[in-house]
Chains A and B, each alone.
Chain A
Amino acid sequence: MNAAAPSRIRSIAAVLRRHLRVWRRLFVSHAVGSLVEPLVYLVAFGFGLGMLVPDVGGRSYLSFLAPGLIVSSALYAATFEGTYGTYTRLVPQRTFEGMLSTPVSVAEVVIGEALYAGLKGTFAGCAVLLVATAFGLMESPWALAVPALSVLGALGFAGISVLVSGISRSYDAFNYFFTLGITPLFMFSGIFFPLDRLPEWVRVASWFNPVTHAVEAMRAACYGEVDPRIMIHIGALLLFAVLPLLPAVRLIRRRLMP
Chain B
Amino acid sequence: MTAVIARDLIKRFGTLEAVRGVSFDVHDGECFGLLGPNGAGKTTTLSMIRCVLRPTSGQLKVLGMDTQSHDRDIRYRLGVVPQGDTLDPDLSVRENLETYAGYFGLGRKEARSRGAELLAFMALEEKEAVRIDQLSGGQRRRLALARALISDPRLLILDEPTTGLDPQARHHLWQRLRTLRGRGTTMILCTHDMHEAEALCDRLAIFDHGRILDIGAPAELIERHAGAEVLEILDAGRAEGALAELLGSLPADIRRERHGELFVAYAPRVGCFSMPLLQGLRDRGLGMTVRRATLEDVFLILTGRELRE
Using a CB–CB cutoff of 8 Å, the interface residues on chain A facing chain B are 1-2, 4-6, 10-11, 14-15, 17-18, 21-22, 25, 93-95, 97-105, 256-258
A-B contact count (CB 8 A): 83
Closest-by-CB residue of B relative to A89 is B90
CA A98 – CA B152 in complex, angstroms?
Answer: 17
Taken together as a complex, chains A and B put the C-alpha atoms of A4 and B82 apart, in Å, by 24
Complex CA gap A2/B106 in Å reads 9
Main secondary structure on chain B at its contact with chain A?
A: loop
Q: A25 to B100: give the CA distance in the assembly, Å.
A: 18
CB distance from B160 to the nearest CB of A (A): 15
Q: Kindly state whether residue B172 has any CB partner on chain A within 8 Å.
A: no
Ordered by A's residue number, 29 sampled pairs between the chains whose C-beta atoms are within 8 Å are A1-B104, A1-B151, A1-B152, A2-B105, A5-B75, A6-B104, A6-B105, A11-B103, A14-B105, A15-B103, A17-B102, A18-B88, A18-B91, A18-B99, A21-B91, A21-B99, A22-B90, A25-B90, A94-B84, A95-B86, A95-B88, A98-B82, A98-B86, A99-B103, A100-B52, A102-B76, A102-B103, A105-B72, A257-B52
Across the interface, name the chain B residue whose C-beta is closest to A13.
B102
Report whether B73 and A98 are in contact in the complex, using a CB–CB cutoff of 8 Å: no
Q: B10 interface residue, CB < 8 Å from A?
A: no
Nearest Cβ on chain A to B229's Cβ, whole angstroms: 43
Chain B residues with Cβ below 8 Å from A100 are: 52, 75
Binary interface encoding of chain B residues 228-258 relative to chain A, with 1 for a CB under 8 A from any of its CBs, else 0: 0000000000000000000000000000000
What's the minimum C-beta distance from B3 to chain A, rounded to whole angstroms?
17
Contact residues of B between 60 and 82, Cβ < 8 Å to A: 71-73, 75-76, 78, 80, 82
Query: Closest chain B residue to A100 by CB distance?
Result: B52
Cα of A97 to Cα of B71 in the assembled complex, Å = 15
Known contacts A5-B72, A258-B13; A101/B82 CB under 8 A: yes
Asked if B87 is at the interface (CB within 8 A of a chain A CB), the reply is: yes
Q: CA–CA, A1 to B87, complex, Å?
A: 23
